[in-house]
Each structure stands twice: as structure tokens, then as C-alpha cells.
Structure 1
Amino acid sequence: MSTTTVTPLTTADAEVLITAARHAAEAAGATVSITVLDAGGHLLAFRRDDRAVLIAGETSTRKAYTALQLDAATADLVDLVKPDGPFHSLTTALDRPLLFIAGGLPIHRDGRLIGAIGVGGGAPEQDHSFATTAVEALSR
């Protein structure tokens, strides 16, 4: 059996993610907070625009955490937790709160989950777009 080592998410990677998301948000005229977590759910990087609403810091972090824990884009989970959805109780099932609003994405390297990014402060579709831009920048 061979074991493949996957390089973990680094602080340099986190800077690429933060910079790409920030530039995308600036181009759209949005003020946001951006959170990058490593595979263990630990904070690797955080940035909040000066004019971003304060709650954006919390939402970006929860979005990243949710994307990491469920290994899925938060945008893809919204319908699953609605009252008639199959996972409606998931929002209160864990000690640490999850957030099912678009803007959180898992980050993979060589097919393995290595972390997550969350963006908060814009409209949900914008936050998802900014996070997607960041993940794409990292894969270049």
C-alpha cells in the first residue's frame, strides 16, 4: 500500500486566497470578510475590509467551517436544511454552529480536503463568486 502525502494548506496559500477574494470583492464594489481554515478547522488567515459590516467576520468564519465539515460548497447545502429538507435539523445538531448561506467552499489538493474559505459581507451569490475566484487562483 502506498501512502501519498498531500501538501497541507500553507500561509502562503492563504495569502493567495485572501488576495484573490479581496480583489474580486473590490472589483464588485463589495466590502467583505474572508476566512481561511486549515484541514483541522484552525484559523489560517482572516481579513475584514474596514467598511465591512461586523457580522461579516462571523459569517465568513462559519461558512468556511461549514464547507470544511461537510466538504461541500455552502451554496449547495441551502435547500437541504430548509424545513422540508432532509437535513433540516443539521443547523442545530453540533456544538459549533454551521451556516448554510452561500460563500463557503472546501479546498482540495490532489483530491484531498486541505481546508476551506468563507466569504461574508456581500450578497450570498457574490460571496460564493469571490470564494470561487480565490480557489481558482490557488489552483493556477
Structure 2
Amino acid sequence: MSTTAVTPLTTADAEILIAAARRAAQATGVPVSITVLDAGGHLLAFRRDEKAVLISGETSTRKAYTALQLNAPTADLVDLVRPDGPFHSLPTALDRPLLFIAGGIPVHRDGHLIGAIGVGGGAPEQDHSFATTALKDLS
């Protein structure tokens, strides 16, 4: 049985993600906040555009945390927490900063979860698009 080490998400990786998400958001004129967490849920990088609404800093962080903890894009989780969904009580059952709004995406390397990115400030679909675009710049 061989064990292959997976390179963790680095601060350099986080800066690549922040820059790529900012470019995508700026191209549409949407001011955003962007959070990048490592696999342990620790902050690696954060950026809030000057004109982004203040709450976007909190929402970007919660989206990243939610994507990391559930290893799924937050866009894919929205229906699960609706009143008739299987996880409807999850947002209030845990004392954790979960947020089930599109804009959080887990980051994988070699099939392993190494962190997450969260974007807040635009419409949920825009935030999801900016985060997805950012992942394309990370190789």
C-alpha cells in the first residue's frame, strides 16, 4: 500500500484564486469579497473590494466554510435545506457558520479536498460563476 502526499493549498495558490475571482467579478462590474480556506478551515487569504457591501465578507467566508465542510459547491446544496429537503434542519442544528447560498466551491488537488473558495457580493449565480472561474486558474 503506497501513500502519496498531496500538496496542500498554499498561500500562493490562495492568491491565484483571489486574483482570478477578482478579475471575473471586475469584468462584470460587481464588487465582491473573496475568502480562501485551507483544508482545516483556516483562513489563507481574504479580499474585499472597497465598494463591496460589508456583509459580503461574512458571506464569502461562510460559503467557503460550508463548501469545505460538505465537500460540495454551495449551489448544489440550496435545495437540500429547503423546508421539505433532507437537510432542512442543518443550518440551525449546528453551531457552525454554514451558509447555503451559491458562491462556495471546494478546492481539490489530485482528487483530495485541500480547501475552499467563497465569493460574496453579487447575485448567488454571479458569485458561483466567479468562484468557478477562479478554480480554472489553479493548476
Normalised by the size of structure 1, how large is the TM-score?
0.98
Alpha-carbon distance in structure 2 between the residues aligned to 1:86 and 1:99: 16
1:46 equivalent in alignment to 2:46: yes
Aligned to 1:45, the other structure's residue is in SS state: strand
Alpha-carbon distance in structure 2 between the residues aligned to 1:2 and 1:28: 46
Question: Which residue of structure 1 lines up, in the alignment, with residue 15 of structure 2?
Answer: 15
Give the letter aligned to residue 8 of structure 2.
P
1:4 equivalent in alignment to 2:8: no
Superposed displacement of residue 96, structure 1: 1.3
**What are the equivalent positions in structure 2 for 1:49-128 lying under 5 Å apart?**
49-128=49-128
Question: Which residue of structure 1 lines up, in the alignment, with residue 37 of structure 2?
Answer: 37
Aligned to 2:137, the other structure's residue is in SS state: helix
Question: Identity, % of aligned pairs?
Answer: 85
User: What is the CA deviation profile of residues 88-110 of structure 1, one whole-angstrom value per residue up to 9, with x for unaligned ones?
Assistant: 01111211120000000000000
Give the letter aligned to residue 64 of structure 1.
A
User: What is the CA deviation profile of residues 70-121 of structure 1, one whole-angstrom value per residue up to 9, with x for unaligned ones?
Assistant: 0000000000000000100111121112000000000000000000000000
Cα RMSD after superposing both structures:
0.5
Number of equivalenced pairs = 139
Tell me which stretches of 4 or more aligned residues in structure 1 moved more than 4 Å. none
Superposed displacement of residue 37, structure 1: 0.1
Alpha-carbon distance in structure 2 between the residues aligned to 1:99 and 1:91: 7
Superposed displacement of residue 136, structure 1: 1.0
Q: Specify every segment of 5 or more residues in structure 1 that has no aligned partner in the other structure, as ranges.
A: none
